Amino acid sequence: MTTDKIRVPVLLGPTAAGKTDLALTLASDLDMEIVSCDSRQIYRRMDVGTAKPSADQRRLVRHWMIDIVDPDAEFSCFQFSRDAAMIIRRRAEAGKRMLICGGSGLYFKSLCNGLGPEVGAYPEIREKYREQARRLGNQSVFDELARIDPPAAAGSHPSNIKRNIRALEVYRATGLTLSELKKQARPPVDIEFFIMVCVMPRQALYQRINRRVDIMVKNGLREEFSRLREKGYDGSSPGMQCVGYRELFAVENNEIDFAGAIEKIKQNTRNYAKRQITWFRHQVKGGDVDMQRRPLEDVKKRIKGFYKIL
């Protein structure tokens, strides 16, 4: 006896490419719910700087994997893949179709490729590498990772300090590299993913990023940062290490003015988008969605074909 797989369309792409609006329209038109695949939108009270869907949008379409941890909590790819797979299966049992939308490639890859062995947290090892980064810089941590686990380093960057420290933490705790452990992972046999990647010319994307940061400022990014600081979240809080928040600590410390910090946020976001584009090009096999050519009807047609909807 065979059982049909759970079919799940996936909309990936760089930040500010227009995924959220497209996903909302698709989900509304095709009666789907959305699983967010965004490593920043998991944090509560971080709304403006992460460009979360608004309260009205989330009332229109049910969203999952948003606002699930506080900004000072660690959250891993393992946790995402475990929780997202559980949600997809439970909602399928309830007769609901799901659409994955986001730009966190490693989150999706961990879900698509399956779970390897779970490795717990080792705060003493983690703190050792945080101290190393403070003393010697992020590059020193990245260089050590490149010596120990070249494949993991190849998929990372010196600025991804949280990810790099985690990879070293796993190795020091288990004696096995993260790459070796990932080889033990198995894709979920009951879920079939249909991957689409949003694309647009680089300069057009950069213009959208700059405009979006300006909108964040108008919508109260600085005030949101201040509220988070008042609640005690600081530079060591994982959420506050995200682009759009970490740059504002320099304003707080009188190292740069607010206008300079905003330009830094734009630059860092553009750099992040560039890395996302490269990662999706090499790590994900999916059809392109041209975001400058009215993609709605095209993508809707593809999804209907995937679902076998006439």
Q: Where are the beta strands (DSSP E) in the chain?
A: 6-12, 32-37, 63-64, 97-102, 191-199, 287-290
Which of 132, 148, 182 marks a domain boundary?
A: 182
Percent of the chain with pLDDT over 70: 98
DSSP 3-state percent helix, strand, coil across the chain (nearest 5): 55, 10, 35
Q: What is the pLDDT, as a whole number, of residue 186?
A: 85
Q: What is the pLDDT, as a whole number, of residue 310?
A: 47
pLDDT at 291 over 90: yes
Could you tell me if 145 and 264 lie in one domain?
no
Tens-place pLDDT, residues 33-82 = 999 999 999 999 999 999 999 999 999 999 999 999 999 998 988 899 99
Which amino acid makes up residue 276? Q
Tens-place pLDDT, residues 232-284 = 999 989 999 999 999 999 999 999 999 999 999 999 999 999 999 999 999 99
Is the sign of the CA dihedral 256, 258, 261, 263 positive or negative? negative
- What values do phi and psi take at 9, rounded to 5? -70, 150
CB atoms under 10 Å from CB of 26, counted, come to 21
25 or 178, which is more confident: 25
In which domain, by residue range, is 199 found? 6-115+185-307
pLDDT at 2 over 70: no
**CATH code, domain with 241:** 3.40.50.300
Q: What is the pLDDT, as a whole number, of residue 90?
A: 98
pLDDT at 3 over 70: no
Question: Distance between CA 216 and CA 41 in Å, rounded?
Answer: 15
Sequence-ordered list of residues with C-beta below 8 angstroms from that of 13, at least 6 positions apart, any chain:
19, 103, 197, 198, 199, 276, 280, 289, 291
Classify residue 280 by burial, with Cβ atoms within 10 Å: 0-12, 13-18, 19+.
Answer: buried
pLDDT (average), residues 184-211: 95
Could you tell me if 157 and 36 lie in one domain?
no
* Domains in the chain, number: 2
Could you tell me if 141 and 262 lie in one domain?
no
Examine residue 1 and state whether it is found in any structural domain, yes or no: no
Query: Are 216 and 31 within 8 A, CB to CB?
Result: no
Tens-place pLDDT, residues 111-145 = 999 877 778 888 899 999 999 999 999 999 999 99
Q: What is the pLDDT, as a whole number, of residue 162?
A: 86
Tens-place pLDDT, residues 253-267 = 999 999 999 999 999
Residue tagged 């946790």 (tokens): 79
Examine residue 290 and state whether it is found in any structural domain, yes or no: yes
Q: What is the pTM of this model?
A: 0.86
Q: What is the pLDDT, as a whole number, of residue 185?
A: 80
Which of 131, 164, 182 marks a domain boundary?
A: 182
Q: What is the pLDDT, as a whole number, of residue 1?
A: 35
Could you tell me if 171 and 107 lie in one domain?
no
